[in-house]
Amino acid sequence: MLYPLKCKPYLRTMVWGGDKISGFKGIETDQKNIGESWELSAYPDMESTVGNGPLAGRSISSLVKEFKDELVGKHVYQESGNNFPLLFKFIDAKADLSIQVHPNDELAEKVHGKGSLGKTEMWYVIDAAPGAKLYSGLSKSVTPEEYARKVADDSITDVLASHPVHPGDVFFLPAGRIHAICSGCFVAEIQQSSDLTYRIYDYGRLGLDGKPRQLHTELAKDAIDYKVYDNYRTPYEPQENEEVELVSCKYFTTSLYELTLPYAKDLSEIDSFVAVMCLEGCGTLEVDGHEIEIGQGETVLIPATADDLCMVPDGGMKVLTTYIR
């Protein structure tokens, strides 16, 4: 019988990272320039592992292959097979990330081969330094040719929508939307399990190897959604001790819980795994009689066979839950 699995993350070195991933995780490591903690990942060579119980040390991909729909859900397994479909991260930006865009599934498969996935994602801002910002979308309309000229003359940021950010801000980023997290932002990211990123512009920065970082400005030209939208933020009303749905799309449904009291959720009709990311505080997850502690900066994978979930805060707890409808 499967039980809740606490994930041990894969730490990814990035040129814009710092000496550790976020002050709240307190991970002891000799790695430098850590920018991302891949909390729940089955992406090849960058997998998280189980950190509790008799399955400790096992990779997520090996569990999907063994337990199949018991772990991920029948409709999820029918769609994704042995490929775990989502990737959960904490991102700690000590410097600006590159201006980038992700292809959709159709373009990814056309350019990179059958089975390649695009990348739709969302951000929840956990913390932000004073004056921190990020880019999401275009602020004015440009043609593909104008876009290319602005990359060439270093003025591409002039046509990007810049957003000052504060804790609790949410951004949904469908494939095709130009974006970049900037210095001082600490975010939770939920996305398709893909690492297809077209780097458009990188401020002339050198990589950790001392060489210029590869740009994909031509590939990005076909991937970009050139439409200008009225609002790039995802609005929601915070509510204590209630489920607040933030994003629901074909790839994932994510909700926020700000809890001071226990909250029970019926999982019996959800034909999917549920991932729980703890953003603040700590508490206990009670799943079909199993109890597992969860604290700030930890992620727990609940199998699709689970029927009941009760989130019990220890004083207070803020979590995100994600599943696939």
Contact (Cβ atoms closer than 8 angstroms) between residue 247 and residue 170: yes
Residues of the chain by 3-state class (helix, strand, coil), percent to 5: 15, 40, 45
**C-beta atoms surrounding 296 within 10 Å:** 17
Nearest Cα residue to 290 out of 267, 312, 309: 309
Q: What is the pLDDT of residue 1?
A: 73
Which domains, from first to last, does the chain contain?
5-223 (2.60.120.10), 243-323 (2.60.120.10)
Instruction: List, for the chain, all residue ranges whose pLDDT scores fall below the cut of 70.
Output: 19-30
Write the pLDDT tens digit of every residue in 186-215. Answer: 999 999 999 999 999 999 999 999 999 999
As given in the structure block, the two tokens for residue 122 are 């969302």
User: For the whole model, what pTM was predicted?
Assistant: 0.96
Q: What is the pLDDT of residue 31?
A: 76
Q: What is the pLDDT of residue 19?
A: 64
**Helix extents (H) in the chain:** 60-67, 69-72, 74-80, 105-112, 144-152, 217-223
Plot region of 113 (φ>0 → left; ψ -120 to 50 → alpha; else → beta) = left
Q: Which residue among 149, 177, 199, 233 is the active-site one?
A: 199
Q: What is the pLDDT of residue 18?
A: 76
Phi, then psi, of 130 in degrees rounded to 5: -55, 130
286 forms beta bridges with 291, 310
Active site residue 199: yes
Q: What is the pLDDT of residue 195?
A: 95
Q: What is the pLDDT of residue 26?
A: 55
Q: What is the pLDDT of residue 27?
A: 58
Going from the C-alpha of 99 to that of each of 129, 154, 162, 244, the distances in angstroms are 20, 11, 12, 30
Dist CA 70 CA 77 (whole Å) = 9
Dist CA 298 CA 316 (whole Å) = 15
Q: What is the pLDDT of residue 292?
A: 97
Opening angle at CA 258, ends 252 and 264, nearest 5:
75
**Helix extents (H) in 153-294:** 217-223
As given in the structure block, the two tokens for residue 319 are 């979590």
Q: What is the pLDDT of residue 21?
A: 60
Contact (Cβ atoms closer than 8 angstroms) between residue 306 and residue 288: yes
